[in-house]
Structure 1
């Protein structure tokens, strides 16, 4: 049986005694029914993990004795997913599932056909980070994606490094499939992938992305929901390159 995992503040994770946050301690005691002496795993969401032993678990909190830390090597290539901003349930799903797929950074894009509008992003970012933290504990990944506030397409295109592999999933692409575009990403240290919102990209937005060096491609046979397309692209890039 795998060890129970708990998320801790990066500044708190160190060899020695580590106190769990109140919510994590309550979960260990009330839901998992752990007891002092149980072996557990701690993760900080930024690539470090540790094994330890619960030395105290009661109503006042929980203490874990950490004896060793390890730094998990990030998967390659670095993956930046740029989905068109979706309604809250779909974005919440992506926050969890893109964590499982080891996406490094998520940059929601404000496009012409996006239904929701930016609201400053603070509350949404906090929620996405919380959902990613929950997903980390379930899937065992060492690092959660960095969530960047929603930005307009031109800003996202300008942020992509010139050396990065760049992919645009576009349903009106007539010639190139995702499978045909993948070899062009081989060897790239960093890959940026653009996926449209519910209504897809406009032809003008697709042309704007192409001018910025993004290779347009499509999925054959069917048009997927926007959140499904994001998961497909992330999974293919993460596991096929």
Structure 2
């Protein structure tokens, strides 16, 4: 990705929300007004062939570090689109807290839906985990991760986020909680058998915290032994989510929404 300075710069205020959004690696950032940002690969194909964007149209480019650039297209070439920065600003849609979702791998398209909605809600990172009751167990973890990462990118674009959450390769739950070098700040596990401790009370005790780790079980839920091991090894507390039993694709989204409401809306 090359950078050069155009002699003429444009300083007019531009509305960001209605524009198409693309993410770049950020390796050459930060850019300044007048710099050239070259978009290539799949993003160029999408921009030029699917969206059919033309010279003179504007879009938003984000460097994955919460800095976004309003750019105007200067040329659409065969293998790349050349744009010029006309405005630079800090993205304001990222939450002030960090939530890592440890989601038991769900079967079929459920996992993709979970990733998409979690990204829209503001999750910081997603770690797919394999538990004892998991029905799905990806044979090619890296291939699956790449597919999930693309879904995260699309979710970040749609929700106007300033960065793309990282999707990690699937890991055994036992390996996660058994790794002494692996920290799990403010760990909480949704457990349908927990009747005395609820998510509301758990959140109230952590009003000043800014990092959270959410563990969600598979279609059949966590086994009792897994809940006990999570608490003993990492201090992960089990909480109930109410009087109804939620599906695995609902539970994580519900917990994320509760956390974001507590720390963003209040």
TM-fit CA distance, 1:12:
5.0
Structure 2: runs of 5+ lacking an equivalent: 1-16
The Cα offsets for residues 183-241 of structure 1, whole Å up to 9 and x where unpaired, read as 12321231111110111000100111122211211111211110111111112112212
TM-fit CA distance, 1:71:
4.3
Query: Residues 138 and 144 of structure 2 are in contact (CA less than 8 Å); yes or no, is this contact kept in structure 1?
Result: no
Instruction: Indicate the larger mover: 18-27 or 141-150.
Output: 18-27
Q: What does residue 105 of structure 2 align with?
A: 85
1:38 pairs with one of 39, 54, 57: 57
1:86-165 alignment, distance < 5 Å: 86-157=106-177, 158=179, 161=183, 164-165=185-186
1:48 pairs with one of 67, 80, 86: 67
Q: What does residue 222 of structure 1 align with?
A: 244
Q: Distance in 2 between matches of 1:239 and 1:85?
A: 26
Q: Distance in 2 between matches of 1:46 and 1:112?
A: 37
Q: Distance in 2 between matches of 1:134 and 1:117?
A: 24
Query: Residues 79 and 238 of structure 1 are in contact (CA less than 8 Å); yes or no, is this contact kept in structure 2?
Result: no
Q: Distance in 2 between matches of 1:149 and 1:23?
A: 23
1:192-211 alignment, distance < 5 Å: 192-211=213-232
Query: Residues 45 and 133 of structure 1 are in contact (CA less than 8 Å); yes or no, is this contact kept in structure 2?
Result: no
TM-fit CA distance, 1:76:
2.6
Instruction: Tell me which structure has the larger Cα radius of gyration.
Output: 2
Instruction: Indicate the larger mover: 213-222 or 5-14.
Output: 5-14
TM-fit CA distance, 1:88:
3.9
Q: What does residue 82 of structure 2 align with?
A: 63
The Cα offsets for residues 33-83 of structure 1, whole Å up to 9 and x where unpaired, read as 322111210123343321111111254531111245444474232111111
Aligned residues: 240
- 1:185 is paired with a residue of what secondary structure? coil
1:8-23 alignment, distance < 5 Å: 8-13=24-29, 14-15=31-32, 16-23=35-42
Query: Residues 40 and 79 of structure 2 are in contact (CA less than 8 Å); yes or no, is this contact kept in structure 1?
Result: no
Structure 1: runs of 5+ lacking an equivalent: none
TM-score when scaled to structure 2?
Answer: 0.82
